[in-house]
């Protein structure tokens, strides 16, 4: 049986992760969730990889949500642990020191929207449809959606969409700040790679230090300003920090070694 989460390494140390469960519009069953966890953990540890793009198989869907057939009969305790385990998997994505871009190609609903929001950046094709429709099912998001939607689009609009369950088209998602860019469906992967390559021209040390500070903004247990001072010191002490600043002073292009 073919794995429901696969990856390949593309040019310039970019990994492309594809969720492929097309019969259910790539809905997140437990097999897919474990596949995401293993794949992302492996790619974070893989020294050949510097950036990760996540997409859904087919033209119709990124991920159409958690698999509804798996959650309908959950008992209370099971539901808590299902939700917490999913949240941990998405935190793994959010806390990755390597940049992760969601390349969004169609329905991105419920758990799919939660997955996309856990990625650092989001690029959507024109046909992308976002939303947290859980309220229509008599439930609520369980993989971080109530928190991350507010963080990305603000409490006013997030409250509206969490309570009315309405779909958000790609253009509105761009206006709301839910996605970074909208492109033609046929250009989605190229656009995501281009976005990633722009980032990867810089030092992996500086990228990881920046991502860690960005994550601290939403974490009440961390003082983001304190962490910024520490990570600034780490980056200025790094080989790449020395190289980048010296190159500027010597009026030449820096050669980063990602160390």
Give the binding site for ligand CO8 (CB under 6 A). Answer: 24-25, 27, 64-69, 71, 79, 82-83, 86, 107, 109-111, 133-134, 137, 141-143
187 an active-site residue? no
What is the smallest separation between the CB atom of 113 and ligand CO8, expressed in angstroms? Answer: 8
Q: What are phi and psi of 162, to 5 degrees?
A: -70, -30
Q: What angle do CA 181, 244, 95 make, to 5 degrees?
A: 45
Closer residue to ligand CO8 in complex, CB, 97/165:
165
d(CA 26, CA 58): 9
> Residue 15 or 178: which CB sits closer to ligand CO8?
178
> What's the closest the beta carbon of residue 259 comes to ligand CO8, in angstroms?
40
C-alpha distances (whole Å) from 20 to each of 17, 113, 146, 151 are 10, 16, 26, 28
φ, ψ for residue 102, nearest 5 deg: -90, 125
- Catalytic residue flag (residue 134): yes
Query: How many of the other CB atoms lie within 10 Å of CB of 77?
Result: 8
How far apart, in whole angstroms, are the C-alpha atoms of residue 212 and residue 234? 12
Least separation in angstroms between residue 173's CB and ligand CO8 is 16
Residue 22 CB, nearest approach to ligand CO8 (Å): 9
Q: Which residue in the list 134, 166, 194, 212 is annotated as catalytic?
A: 134
Residue 56: in which H helix or E strand, if any?
strand 51-56
**Cα gap 106→127, rounded to integer Å:** 5
| Residue closer to ligand CO8 (CB basis): 48 or 72 | 72
Give 7 or 62: the residue with its C-beta nearer to ligand CO8.
62
Looking at the Cβ atoms of 33 and 182, the one nearer to ligand CO8 is 33
CB of 209 to ligand CO8, least distance (A): 32
Q: For residues 39 and 53, what is the distance between their CA atoms, to the nearest angstrom?
A: 12
If the CB atoms of residues 54 and 213 are measured against ligand CO8, the closer one turns out to be 54
Helix (H) or strand (E) holding 199: helix 188-200
Dist. CA 162–CA 35, nearest whole Å: 28
Residue with tokens 């990570």: 231
Say which of 47, 70, 77, 114 is annotated catalytic.
114
DSSP classification of residue 174: H
Give the shortest CB-131-to-ligand CO8 separation in angstroms. Answer: 8
Catalytic residue positions? 114, 134
């Amino acid at each position: 049986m073919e794995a429901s989460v696969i990856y390949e390494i593309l040019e310039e140390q970019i990994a492309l992760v594809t969720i492929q469960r097309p019969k259910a519009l790539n809905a997140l069953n437990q097999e897919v969730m474990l596949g995401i966890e293993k794949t992302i953990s492996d790619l974070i540890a893989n020294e050949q990889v510097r950036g990760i793009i996540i997409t859904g198989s087919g033209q119709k869907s990124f991920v159409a949500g958690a698999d509804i057939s798996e959650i309908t009969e959950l008992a209370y305790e099971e539901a808590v642990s299902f939700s917490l385990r999913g949240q941990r998997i998405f935190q793994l994505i959010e806390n990755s020191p390597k940049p992760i871009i969601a390349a969004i190609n169609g329905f991105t609903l419920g758990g799919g929207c939660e997955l996309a929001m856990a990625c650092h950046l989001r690029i959507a094709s024109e046909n992308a449809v976002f939303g947290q429709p859980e309220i229509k099912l008599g439930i609520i998001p369980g993989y971080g959606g109530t928190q991350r939607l507010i963080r990305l689009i603000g409490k006013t609009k997030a409250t509206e969409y969490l309570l009315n369950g309405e779909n958000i088209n790609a253009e509105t998602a761009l206006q709301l700040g839910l996605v970074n860019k909208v492109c033609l469906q046929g250009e989605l992967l190229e656009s995501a790679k281009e976005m990633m390559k722009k980032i990867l021209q810089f030092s992996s040390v500086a990228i990881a230090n920046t991502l860690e500070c960005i994550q601290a903004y939403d974490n009440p247990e961390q003082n983001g300003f304190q962490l910024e001072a520490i990570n600034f010191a780490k980056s200025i002490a790094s080989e790449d920090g020395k190289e980048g600043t010296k190159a500027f002073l010597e009026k030449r292009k820096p050669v980063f070694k990602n160390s």
